């Protein structure tokens, strides 16, 4: 907790949102970490009811929405990461809140709610920068559905303006400290190069360690120089091997949606998690084929799923990066389960 608290001031390679969340717990000394985990568990517990609310906003039946919340409550990956000192739980909470408020703003054409959704989007961006580019896709999805909402442009503009304003204090701080325009963090080049591998040991630990050693051997100490160096290396490799890059991207997209975790997790854990996800994905596919995504608002959720899939097919990828999409999968699975049970009656 102390390391992450210091990261707010001294580190620019990760967003500041999660360190800010943890910083108040520093006042409790050695007992801060258990209290921080307890607070995070409260956020994790909120994921299930938030998923229920989002499911109802997307046209699910009450039975389907309850099933979606229940599937989130027992999702082994969500349970596992709820106690880890990592960004996943806070980010997922903010993303769910963002979509709930945005969909309500869209449905009611409410500008105040659009502003609140922008604030949540900004806070989510300060927690995990992967959501920042999604703003453009959100606007594109709204444009696609513009005939259903005559105030679509105003809603998008207000949401986007507040989203951007939420980032201004941190961006200004970065300008004053580094004399560079850094909206959230600096790690694009590093993540790009780190992601150019399919080797499991490289993904887990070898590649980041080797990159750190290489930066040291090159005499690079400044985080901006390090990020730019690996960004150049990544782009040069892609330019020389476009076919290999395309094939790697496709395989990473498939891996992103694999049902099971890789070692070093024990075989029993991998089998248990894998069986849960096989059943979850089967129910989600049933929900899709039975019309669960026919509600117009699903355009925003599908855009979010496509965004993260593409992003992590290009940059560094890991099964935990799929966690922000688990509530969407659970909503589809809950709808699929409800529709299948209704057909049996």
What is the tens place of the pLDDT at every residue in 84-133?
989 999 999 999 999 999 999 999 999 999 999 999 999 999 999 999 99
Mean pLDDT is highest, among 26-30, 168-172, 339-343, for: 168-172
Could you read off the pLDDT of 192-241 as tens digits, one per residue?
A: 999 999 887 777 778 888 999 999 999 998 889 999 999 999 999 999 99
Q: Tell me which residue of 149, 57, 164, 166 sits closest to 111, measured CA to CA.
A: 149
pLDDT at position 10 is: 56
Opening angle at CA 153, ends 150 and 158, nearest 5: 125
Taking residues 323-345, report their average pLDDT.
92
Residue pair 208/193 in contact by the 8 Å Cβ criterion: no
pTM for the complete prediction?
0.93
CA distance between the termini of the chain:
53
Higher-confidence residue: 345 or 218? 218
Question: What's the sign of the alpha-carbon dihedral 153, 159, 161, 164?
Answer: negative
**Phi, psi (degrees; rounded to nearest 5) at 138:** -60, -45
pLDDT category of residue 327 using cuts at 50, 70 and 90:
very high
Asked whether 19 and 2 are in contact (CB, 8 A), the reply is no
**From CA 23, how far away is CA 6, in angstroms rounded?**
9
d(CA 218, CA 226) in angstroms, rounded, equals: 9
H-state helical runs in 109-151: 111-127, 134-144
Of 343, 335, 340, 299, nearest to 60 by C-alpha is: 335
Under a CB-based contact definition with an 8 Å cutoff, are residues 101 and 159 in contact?
Answer: no
227 CA to centre of own chain: 22
pLDDT, the chain, mean: 92
Furthest CA-CA distance within the chain: 70
- pLDDT tier at 3 (50, 70, 90 boundaries)? low
């Amino acid at each position: 907790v102390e390391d992450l608290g210091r990261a707010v001031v001294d580190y620019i390679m990760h967003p500041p949102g999660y360190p800010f969340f943890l910083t108040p717990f520093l006042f409790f000394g050695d007992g801060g970490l258990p209290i921080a985990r307890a607070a995070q568990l409260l956020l994790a517990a909120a994921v299930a009811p938030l998923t229920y609310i989002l499911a109802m906003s997307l046209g699910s039946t009450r039975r389907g929405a309850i099933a979606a919340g229940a599937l989130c409550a027992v999702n082994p990956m969500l349970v596992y990461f709820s106690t880890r000192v990592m960004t996943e739980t806070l980010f997922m909470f903010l993303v769910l809140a963002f979509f709930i408020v945005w969909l309500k703003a869209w449905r009611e054409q409410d500008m105040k709610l659009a502003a609140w959704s922008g604030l949540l989007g900004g806070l989510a961006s300060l927690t995990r920068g992967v959501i920042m580019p999604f703003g453009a896709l959100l606007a594109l999805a709204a444009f696609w559905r513009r005939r259903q909402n005559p105030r679509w442009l105003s809603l998008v503009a207000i949401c986007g303006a507040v989203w951007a304003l939420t980032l201004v204090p941190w961006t200004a701080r970065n300008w004053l400290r580094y004399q560079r325009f850094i909206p959230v963090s600096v790690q694009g080049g590093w993540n790009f190069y780190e992601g150019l591998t399919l080797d499991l040991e490289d993904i887990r630990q070898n590649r980041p360690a080797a990159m750190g050693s290489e930066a040291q051997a090159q005499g690079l100490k400044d985080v901006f120089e390090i990020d730019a160096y690996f960004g150049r290396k990544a782009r040069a490799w892609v330019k020389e091997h476009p076919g290999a890059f395309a094939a790697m991207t496709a395989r990473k997209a498939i891996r992103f949606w694999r049902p099971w975790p890789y070692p070093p997790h024990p075989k029993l854990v991998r089998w248990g998690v894998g069986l849960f996800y096989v059943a979850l994905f089967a129910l989600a596919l049933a929900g899709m084929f039975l019309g669960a995504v026919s509600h117009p608002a699903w355009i925003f959720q599908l855009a979010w799923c496509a965004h993260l899939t593409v992003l992590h097919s290009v940059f560094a990828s890991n099964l935990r990066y799929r966690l922000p999409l688990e509530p969407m999968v659970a909503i589809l699975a809950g709808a699929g389960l409800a529709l299948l049970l209704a057909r049996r009656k």
